[in-house]
């Protein structure tokens, strides 16, 4: 892993493959590791230079105060565009997962010249918070179970990894994979603020980010070839959110993974990678 200076900040990145065509993977709430190794490796084997990266205030990227971000969603989108330009002078394929999918949508709208393709996994066309009436909101019973749990001691590696595994099981993801990812996140948390960093990386404080103005009404402007991938069993952003994205982005393709929730299952690795490269 290394870092890249882009848009005035330091972004932690990891490279897979050395092909000419660049594919930038924008992280969800759990840092760059929200894009599993096997997906990155499959894309690289298929002839892409794959770069996954940490958003600000997570992983090895610039960290100031994750609980009170002094930047906006549009700044994160500008980071993605600047990173793509630093990596290659040609447009890149941008992919975003979860909240990273929101960043990716805004990046493609604000910086269309930087991207030649777009993939959106497990996300929705509006910011965290109140949802539009025509979009399915979080599954209330699942969210009740997820967020009623006592927070762990974020400085205790074992407590954090167990908390992540329990949360994955509630969401319908693989708890073994979640525990392993949380351990890796904990191990690479730098500096003297592991508690707030880990809380941020597990998606707890993203709602503090300024996500105005709305971008859903601009989706019809997107001319970037787009793939929307969504898990049928996703209780956090139910599949109707992905269906809305596919309807509202001109020419978008929709791939629904029948056995998936919020994470990319190992069994779907090759299917997702093939779909991302099929343009």
Residue 207: give its domain's CATH number: 3.40.50.1820
- pLDDT for the residue 118: 98
Determine, yes or no, domain membership for 144.
no
Residues of the domain holding 82: 2-137+189-277
How far, in Å, CA of 122 to CA of 118, rounded?
Answer: 13
How far, in Å, CA of 189 to CA of 198, rounded?
Answer: 7
pLDDT digits (tens, 9 = 90+) for 229-248: 999 999 999 999 999 999 99
Query: In the chain, what percentage of residues exceed pLDDT 70?
Result: 94
Determine, yes or no, domain membership for 146.
no
User: How is residue 35 annotated by DSSP?
Assistant: S
Determine, yes or no, domain membership for 48.
yes
Determine, yes or no, domain membership for 76.
yes
Q: Does residue 250 surpass a pLDDT of 50?
A: yes
Report the Cα 63 to chain-centroid distance in Å: 18
Q: How many domains does the chain fold into?
A: 1
Answer whether 43's CB lies under 8 Å from 276's CB: yes
pLDDT digits (tens, 9 = 90+) for 113-149: 999 999 999 999 999 888 999 999 999 999 999 999 9
- pLDDT for the residue 3: 96
Q: Which residues pair with 49 in a beta bridge?
A: 22
Determine, yes or no, domain membership for 169.
no
Mean pLDDT of 36-41: 97
Determine, yes or no, domain membership for 261.
yes
Token code pair at residue 216: 């859903």
Q: Which residues pair with 115 in a beta bridge?
A: 92
Phi, psi of 76 (to 5 degrees): -65, -35
Q: Does residue 192 surpass a pLDDT of 50?
A: no
Task: Say what the alpha-carbon torsion angle 59, 63, 67, 68 is, to the nearest 10 degrees.
Answer: -150
Determine, yes or no, domain membership for 150.
no
Answer whether 185's CB lies under 8 Å from 27's CB: no
Under the banding of pLDDT at 50, 70 and 90, the label for residue 260 is very high
Under the banding of pLDDT at 50, 70 and 90, the label for residue 102 is very high
Answer whether 32's CB lies under 8 Å from 38's CB: no
Determine, yes or no, domain membership for 113.
yes
SS3 244: helix
How far, in Å, CA of 181 to CA of 34, rounded?
Answer: 8
Question: Whole-model pTM above 0.85?
Answer: yes
DSSP letters, 150-203, are PPP-TT-HHHHHHHHHHHHHHHTS-HHHHHHHHHHHHHT--TT-HHHHHHHHTT
Q: Which residues pair with 226 in a beta bridge?
A: 118
């Amino acid at each position: 892993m290394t870092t890249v200076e882009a848009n005035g900040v330091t972004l932690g990145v990891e490279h897979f493959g050395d092909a000419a065509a660049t594919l930038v993977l924008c992280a969800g709430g759990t840092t760059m590791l929200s894009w599993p190794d096997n997906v990155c490796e499959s894309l690289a084997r298929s002839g892409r230079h794959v770069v996954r990266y940490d958003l600000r205030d997570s992983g090895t990227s610039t960290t100031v105060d994750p609980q009170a971000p002094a930047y906006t969603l549009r700044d994160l989108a500008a980071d993605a565009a600047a990173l793509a330009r630093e990596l290659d002078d040609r447009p890149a394929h941008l992919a975003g997962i979860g909240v990273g999918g929101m960043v990716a949508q805004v990046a493609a709208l604000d910086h269309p010249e930087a991207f030649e393709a777009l993939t959106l996994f497990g996300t929705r066309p509006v910011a965290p918070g109140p949802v539009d009436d025509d979009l399915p909101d979080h599954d209330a019973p699942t969210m009740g179970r997820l967020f009623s749990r006592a927070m762990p001691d974020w400085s205790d590696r074992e407590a954090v990894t167990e908390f992540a595994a329990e949360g994955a099981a509630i969401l319908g993801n693989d708890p073994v994979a979640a525990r392993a990812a949380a351990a890796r996140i904990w191990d690479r948390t730098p500096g003297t603020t592991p508690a707030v960093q880990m809380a941020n990386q597990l998606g707890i404080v993203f709602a503090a980010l300024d996500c105005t103005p709305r971008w859903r009404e601009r989706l019809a402007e997107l001319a970037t070839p787009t793939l929307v991938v969504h898990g049928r069993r996703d209780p956090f952003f139910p599949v109707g959110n992905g269906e809305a994205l596919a309807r509202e982005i001109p020419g978008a393709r929709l791939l629904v993974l029948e056995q998936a929730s919020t994470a990319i299952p190992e069994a779907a690795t090759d299917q997702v990678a093939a779909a991302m490269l099929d343009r």
